[in-house]
Chain A
């Protein structure tokens, strides 16, 4: 797989229903390497489901997901080997509460990739140091603030050297004053060229960081474009209505 150029991810005509609840109704989206694509839209529009489908945590009903040229939704694909090359960060952090921070970060490199513990720890410490969490490496997650926990969750995903990061509303569960430190980490990743698909409610962040902003409503992509165009000159009425509501709520 070439992780340096071309299309990292292509989502083609993806449908997903939970029982009678049709969540994704034919989504097409391409993400090139080093791009940061922000998914915006109301709760229930399908952003999280789309990310979970890309990470193969949910089986799709129709369509294809192509990861660096490989259709990963074929039956013979081992989804575990695909997931090892994608990093996913959840809204509620989901750190392992029974493991110290360092072990949270090294668990997957050691147990999934078979890395030597000492190497994995060395690398994990380097990452923790880079993001200012070295002094927390021997704490249990519940001793950390929400912002610190979410930064550890991002580091945990990074420790697997993902070719694509999937961020699912990673600041939505945080106190407002902790949002900044997490967004800073994501900005740094973006600046470093990490390919990312980011579901977010942080419009300011999307405007400044995104290569492209994608507006989802009711399981379909309504409109997408560069942030300047989508936020300042939306073409579709549904986009205008959504942005109007966000503006009224003071979230811009």
Chain B
């Protein structure tokens, strides 16, 4: 397409810009499409690696330098990053009166594992009730709406305080005689079921109505269509936001510390800091929370990628 005249010569301005380049066609088409040298360097595989490494190191270096050069750096490092205190807080010492944060995180893991299972089921039930059209379910629908509004709106820490101290104070049989652990998990379940039911609902609404029409036209009953057509498609779209909520839940198990009686990681760190007057235990707790949340985040990405690849690849 280079040398063929395609029209009366173009305006000299355009041609003039690349004067000397052999690629200017007689028709005035600028055929010099080559990238600048800088752009070419950035796009080469080696260039990209070098560039990203240098920029990462520069940013990290700047942050570390700011931290180390801050006027109060020494004091902060001694209070938050003391290796000796971090280790003592991690393993705990019953004789000194403080608990192991390492054992504490196991309690957090128990809380969110039990919580997640219950939340997945309860939230789905709430979402299905809210999506239902039957007039018989109208009262339940109203309750579900009120429930979600309430628990989405009240700060989780207040829910934990109300459940953890309120229910035992009622002196009811069974309900008032549970452990603080149970009240903590119950609070998390109540609050997160409200959030997660909204995620489910968004997922159910994301399935096109044409899918429902197609299931109905095949003679499937509404319940069957929900179970085999709508729900599987909804769940697929909500896996990432769902796991996001679970990452939040994993962190929020730390709030159960306000009940005092559940020695989870945050509570153990609290006890350590008030005993020894050093905050390094909180750093240990923070690191442990990262250790459990980051793999879940990566797992989420992996699931999304796998599902996408499977559907693009067709037959297995």
Chain B binds chain A: yes
A: residues with CB less than 8 A from B are: 52, 55, 57, 80-81, 83-88, 90, 92, 94-98, 100, 107-108, 111-113, 138-140, 142-143, 156-157, 160
**Contact in complex: B314, A143 (CB < 8 Å):** yes
**Contact in complex: A88, B217 (CB < 8 Å):** yes
Q: Decide if B305 is an interface residue (CB 8 Å cutoff).
A: no
Complex Cα–Cα for A85 and B150 (A):
46
Shortest CB distance B66–A (Å) = 50
Jot down 26 A-B pairs with beta carbons below 8 A, ordered by A.
Answer: A57-B213, A57-B217, A80-B221, A86-B217, A87-B217, A90-B217, A94-B210, A95-B214, A96-B229, A97-B233, A97-B311, A98-B233, A98-B236, A100-B315, A108-B219, A108-B220, A111-B224, A112-B220, A112-B224, A138-B315, A138-B316, A139-B315, A140-B314, A142-B312, A143-B314, A143-B315
Q: Given A90-B210, A96-B229, A111-B228, is A140 in contact with B311 using a C-beta cutoff of 8 Å?
A: yes
Q: Could you say which of B214, B215, B220, B312 has the most chain A C-beta atoms within 10 Å of its C-beta? A: B214
**Contact in complex: A81, B219 (CB < 8 Å):** yes
**Contact in complex: A160, B219 (CB < 8 Å):** yes
Residues of A within 8 A of B213 (CB): 52, 57, 90, 94
Complex Cα–Cα for A242 and B151 (A):
59
Interchain residue pairs A-B with the least CB separation, the first 7: A84-B219, A94-B214, A143-B314, A108-B218, A88-B217, A139-B314, A138-B315
Residues of B within 8 A of A52 (CB): 213
Complex Cα–Cα for A201 and B225 (A):
31
Shortest CB distance B172–A (Å) = 44
Shortest CB distance A88–B (Å) = 4
Chain B residues numbered 195-234 whose CB sits less than 8 Å from any CB in chain A: 210-211, 213-221, 224, 228-229, 232-233
Complex Cα–Cα for A84 and B168 (A):
55
Complex Cα–Cα for A11 and B224 (A):
29
Residues of A within 8 A of B311 (CB): 97, 140, 142
Shortest CB distance B223–A (Å) = 10
Complex Cα–Cα for A16 and B311 (A):
40
Residues of B within 8 A of A92 (CB): 210
Closest to B211 in A: A94
**Interface residue from A85, A90, A111 paired with B214 (Cβ < 8 Å):** A90
**Contact in complex: B218, A157 (CB < 8 Å):** yes
Complex Cα–Cα for A160 and B154 (A):
51
Shortest CB distance B230–A (Å) = 10
With A96-B215, A139-B314 already in contact, 18 other A-B pairs whose C-beta atoms are closer than 8 Å: A57-B216, A80-B220, A83-B218, A84-B218, A88-B214, A90-B214, A94-B214, A97-B311, A98-B232, A98-B233, A98-B236, A100-B315, A111-B228, A112-B218, A113-B219, A138-B314, A143-B315, A160-B218
Shortest CB distance A94–B (Å) = 4
Shortest CB distance B237–A (Å) = 10
**Contact in complex: A156, B314 (CB < 8 Å):** no
**Contact in complex: B218, A156 (CB < 8 Å):** yes
**Contact in complex: A83, B232 (CB < 8 Å):** no
Q: Could you say which of B213, B215, B218, B315 has the most chain A C-beta atoms within 10 Å of its C-beta? A: B218
Residues of B within 8 A of A85 (CB): 219
